[in-house]
């Protein structure tokens, strides 16, 4: 039996859909945490926990530091999304 690479296609889902998949058990806790981490930092967030985390980060490292962090998260998100798209044997959540 050969191991199949993990699918990261869930990273392309809207937040509400990924959250629903996690609640019903089709998205593992590890994949949900990865989704939350990248979702929080890959774009400016102005509310909720993500917005508060970005605000704390902004106060600690300034605007340029926050922009670098967001750029890194966005690059990782895009890299993992493309890896998920290459793995066509899996649908989102199938490998969890």
Q: Where are the domains of the chain?
A: 9-86
- What token pair was written down for 24? 């019903």
Binned at pLDDT 50, 70 and 90, residue 95 comes out as very low
Q: Which residues contact 66 (CB under 8 A, 6 or more apart)?
A: 54, 57, 58
Cα 79 to chain centroid, rounded: 11
Residue 40 contacts residue 1 (beta carbons within 8 Å): no
**pLDDT tens, position by position, 34-62:** 999 999 998 899 999 999 999 999 999 99
> The tokens 């990924």 sit on which residue?
18
């Amino acid at each position: 039996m050969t191991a199949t690479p993990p699918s990261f296609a869930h990273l392309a889902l809207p937040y509400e859909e990924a959250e629903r998949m996690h609640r019903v058990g089709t998205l593992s806790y590890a994949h949900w945490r990865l989704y939350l981490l990248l979702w929080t930092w890959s774009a400016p967030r102005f509310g909720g926990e993500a917005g508060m985390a970005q605000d704390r980060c902004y106060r600690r490292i300034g605007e340029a530091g926050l922009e670098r962090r967001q750029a890194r998260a966005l690059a990782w998100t895009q890299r993992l999304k493309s890896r998920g798209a290459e793995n066509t044997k899996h649908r989102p959540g199938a490998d969890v």
